[in-house]
Amino acid sequence: MSNPETKSITRELQSHAAILGSCVALLWIIEIVDVFLFRGGLNSYGVRPRSLDGLEGILFMPFLHGSFAHLAGNTLPFLTFGWLIMLRKISDFFVVSAVTMLVSGLGVWLTGAPNSVHIGASGLIFGYFGFLLLRGLFERSFTSLLISLVVGFFYGSLIWGVLPSQPGVSWQAHFFGFAGGVLAAQLLGRQKREIN
């Protein structure tokens, strides 16, 4: 018979899988619907810089992708980073996601090229990356520092994605997503220190 602690960990991991699995399923369902029913028409709901109508894209941008390859490229980092954020507290995942979506979306809206449309979950992924990379600095706990070091070691080269590089890639979403993740790390780190 398993002890209560094992049951609790099992329930926690099942919650992680259900939340992340639901998010990824939603992303893929939206892309399938967009490709086969709307012929890519939903992508026009991404962030359109300095257009009042384009502000709604702040909410929609992470859920829209240019192709199945685009979405496939974002799926694994979304799952990996999302799960690492949930390890300490499931609610952190939702806080980091909300802060990152807002900062990334607004940053793109303010600085993106005119007449462009920005879509994709990569701004969110860069937010998760920024959060995980700097959470240890703001929380000052051994576990958080260890995760920050591991993420930095394995994924540190992602940092170059915040600079202008490839045409057609929204470096603004990456840059402001990263900034949003750092802001979330600071806010949640301060909150954790105040509780302790």
Under the banding of pLDDT at 50, 70 and 90, the label for residue 2 is: low
- What is the residue-averaged pLDDT of the chain? 92
Give the pLDDT mean for 102-112: 97
Locate the domains of the chain by residue range.
4-195
Decide which of 194 and 73 is more confident: 73
pLDDT above 80: residue 193:
no
- What is the Cα–Cα distance from 122 to 74, expressed in whole angstroms? 6
- What is the Cα–Cα distance from 191 to 13, expressed in whole angstroms? 24
Give the pLDDT mean for 68-91: 95
114-136 residue pLDDT tens: 999 999 999 999 999 999 999 98
Per-residue confidence (pLDDT) for residue 1, from 0 to 100: 45
pLDDT cut 90: percent of the chain above it: 73
CATH topology of domain 4-195: Rhomboid-like fold (1.20.1540)
pLDDT cut 70: percent of the chain above it: 97
Q: Which has the closest alpha carbon to 87: 128, 49, 55, 119? A: 128
